[in-house]
Each structure stands twice: as C-alpha cells, then as structure tokens.
C-alpha cells in the first residue's frame, strides 16, 4: 500500500479564525499507473489532533479516466452494476417457475470492491495504532462509499469510538452489507450524516433501503447546463448547495422535521427501556438523556435558523436586484421621455447630487431586511453559544469520570 507517514501540520483558514484540524500521520495514494500506489485506487489522508484526541480520515472521491481508471473501472462501475443487478444476473427461486439448479445456484450477495475493503482496513488500522483516540470520517462521492463501508465494517468496540462522520453525495452501499454490517450501520444514528442533493443523479439508492447513519437532504438549486455532463458534474460537486454566511449547509424542511422526530423518539425509547418494570433512572442515565434532548433541540433550532437566515439573504438579494432594475428603468424613462436634451450620464449625476443615487435607493429598499438579518444572526449566535456551554459542561464531567465516558459511548450505539 502506498503511504507517506511524515508528519505535517494542517490548518484550515476559516472566515473568523484559523482552525487547526490536525497533523498528517498517514497518506494513502491510489494513482493510476504509479508503482507503489494502492492497487485498489484508495486515496485518503489521516490526521491526528492531539488536543481533542481525535483521528480524522478524509477519503477522496473518484479521479482518473472514466473507462480505465482504478476508481471507475474497479469500483464505481462494478458497484453501479451490482446495485442494478443485486443477484448477479442469476435466476431467482420461483421466478417463472424455475427452481434453483446447478446451472442456476441461489443468488449471491454482491461483494464490496477492493477499495471499500481497503478503506475499512485503513480505519481499523489507525484505531489500533491510536487506542486512546476517537474517530471522525469525511468523504465525497466514492469517498462517501469508502466511509460508509468502513463504518459498517467496524466491530462494536471500534464503532463506539466513532465521534462522527460527514459524507457527501455518495451512492447508498447498504445493498453490499451482510446482516451484521447492516445492524452496525443502523446503530450510528445521527453520529453519521449522509448529505444528499436530490437533484444530483449520483447518490442513487438514498431512500430505497437502509442507510449507514442518517440521510440529510440538502436544500438545493438546479444547476442547469446545456452540456449534460457539465450539469451532472456541477450538481454533484456541491454546485446546487445553499450556504449560509458562516458556511453552514441549508437542509430541506422535511429533513429537519424528520431528524428531530427520530432523535426525540430515540430518547423516549431509551427512557422507556431503562424505566420498565418500575426501575428508576441512574444519575448517569439522567445526565445522558437530558444532554441528548438538549443536543436534539439545539441542532434543530440551529438548522431552522440556517434556513431562515438563508431565506432572508436571498430575499434581500432579490429586493436589491428589483430596486436596481427599477432605478435603471426610471433613469432610462426620464432620458427617453422628458429630458431629451440630457445624456443618460447627466441624469445619473443629477439624481446622485439630489440624493437619489442607485446605491442609496437600493439601501433604502433593503434596510428593513438588513435589520432583520442582524437580529436573526444575533439570536442564532445566542442559541449556538448556549449549546456550546452545555457541551463544555458535559465534556468537563466526562474528563473527570472515565466510567461515564464508557457509558456514554455504549449508549450512543443503542
């Protein structure tokens, strides 16, 4: 396997402050026709954040030739074919009156491709290498499939160390999983988030079967292009995503509502499970359930505010454009109908001198929305601050109580 292990600090420069995400401890390359690179085509980087005791694996999506590249020829196309032909083209029992025979054995479950297996091995290897660290995963497209399979292939103890995963625009690989892997995949809950644009044709199967973690439908715009391949590429590469000013992704309303209800139902099920036969909650169980409820509520409010702030921003932009168009039409009408002796530029200068510039008119038109944006942003920040304070408080408890840490990790898998 082609790897590079020399450490290298990586810092992502954010809008407000630099955000350190870790030191590179392993790089896996899977380039085509490069001796020593991973034969499966796997491309990934592993980062280690000593401050938070977190490992971060980032799986790269497809690259190279659509026909001969390892990512495509050995992974994408075989997976797509397996999805369309889950029985491998073999005759199903009882279909058309044909029973299984030596020529038509019972259908076999599709098998994961070499790259998915390599992705799972990488995750297991780094967890063994750093036993005191928790794990995060990130991936897009084929990288999402790598992450999905790697998560499903973890055992119970390894899965308990998964802090979270954020996977984007990847086809659903649940059809590849055996019973044990499906069970593991279903227990991650919203620790594993699969973001899907319903206008993107690539993440097929997203609503057809079980998922690894939970699916989040992003609110998106249709990226129309005359060239169909350009359209597919732009839509797939986050081109239709709606972003807030702080870089958050805007979710569809139905996703916000659905995830909130599912998460609260889980809290209710745990409460019922722990109090059946007249039992009382332990102090640890009470802390866990209270914390989970707060997390669910704060997250739903945060996502709802993202939608609201985006709509305010979009409305302000529409109003500004309408104001600019109206101002331009008004100047043109004056020039063409009542001030024929003046040039267009002369009329603009006069309007500006009299306090009716285009910029001032746009500002006056949108100032009420600007005020709403400031108020919404302030409310959003206060909500986020509340959630952060609660997280810090719970983390301080966990730092002092290793037994509570083990309980939380176990309960996260229920």
Other CB atoms within 10 Å distance of the CB of residue 379: 14
- The pLDDT, as a whole number, for residue 98 is 39
Q: Where in the chain is the domain with CATH 3.40.50?
A: 3-88+107-241
In angstroms, the Cα distances linking 265 to 213, 268, 270, 293 are: 16, 5, 9, 10
Q: pLDDT tens digit string along 73-123? A: 999 999 988 888 766 543 333 333 334 444 444 456 688 999 999 999 999
Residue 8, beta-bridge partner list: 24
Overall CATH class of domain 3-88+107-241: alpha beta
In angstroms, the Cα distances linking 228 to 199, 233, 357 are: 13, 9, 43
pLDDT lower than 50: segments of the chain:
1-7, 12-17, 89-106
The whole-model pTM stands at 0.82
Q: In this structure, is the dihedral angle defined by the CA atoms of residues 165, 166, 172 and 173, taken in order, positive or negative? A: negative
- The pLDDT, as a whole number, for residue 223 is 86
């Amino acid at each position: 396997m082609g790897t590079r292990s020399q450490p290298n600090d990586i810092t992502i420069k954010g809008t407000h402050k630099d955000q350190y995400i870790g030191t590179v401890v392993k790089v896996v390359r899977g380039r085509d026709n490069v001796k020593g690179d991973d034969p499966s085509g796997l491309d990934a980087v592993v980062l280690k954040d000593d401050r938070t005791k977190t490992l971060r694996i980032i799986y790269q999506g497809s690259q190279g030739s659509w026909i001969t590249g390892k990512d495509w020829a050995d992974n994408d196309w075989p997976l797509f074919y397996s999805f369309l032909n889950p029985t491998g083209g073999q005759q199903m029992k009882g279909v058309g009156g044909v029973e299984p025979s030596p020529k038509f054995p019972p259908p076999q479950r599709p098998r994961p491709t070499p790259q998915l297996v390599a992705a799972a091995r990488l995750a297991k290897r780094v967890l063994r290498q750093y036993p005191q660290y928790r794990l995060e995963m990130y991936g897009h497209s084929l990288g999402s499939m790598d992450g999905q399979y790697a998560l499903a292939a973890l055992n119970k103890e390894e899965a308990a160390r998964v802090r979270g995963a954020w996977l984007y625009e990847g086809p659903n690989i649940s059809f590849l999983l055996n019973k044990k892997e499906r069970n593991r995949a279903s227990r991650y809950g919203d620790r594993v988030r699969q973001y899907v644009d319903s206008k993107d044709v690539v993440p097929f199967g997203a609503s057809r079967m079980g998922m690894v973690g939970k699916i989040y439908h992003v609110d998106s715009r249709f990226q129309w292009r005359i060239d169909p391949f350009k359209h597919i590429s732009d839509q797939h590469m986050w081109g239709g995503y709606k972003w807030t000013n702080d870089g958050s992704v805007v979710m569809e309303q139905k996703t916000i509502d659905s995830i909130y209800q599912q998460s609260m139902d889980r809290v209710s099920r745990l409460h019922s499970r722990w109090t059946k036969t007249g039992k009382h909650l332990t102090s640890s169980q009470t802390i866990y359930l209270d914390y989970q409820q707060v997390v669910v509520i704060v997250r739903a409010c945060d996502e709802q505010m993202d939608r609201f702030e985006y709509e305010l921003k979009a409305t302000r932009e529409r109003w500004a454009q309408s104001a600019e168009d109206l101002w331009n039409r008004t100047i043109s009408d004056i020039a063409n109908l009542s001030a024929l002796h003046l040039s267009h530029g002369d009329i603009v200068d006069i309007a500006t001198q009299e306090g009716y510039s285009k910029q001032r008119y746009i500002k006056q038109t949108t100032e009420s929305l600007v005020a709403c944006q400031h108020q919404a942003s302030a409310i959003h920040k206060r909500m986020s601050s509340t959630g952060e304070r609660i997280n810090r408080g719970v983390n301080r408890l966990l730092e002092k109580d290793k037994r509570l840490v083990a309980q939380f990790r176990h309960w996260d898998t229920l």
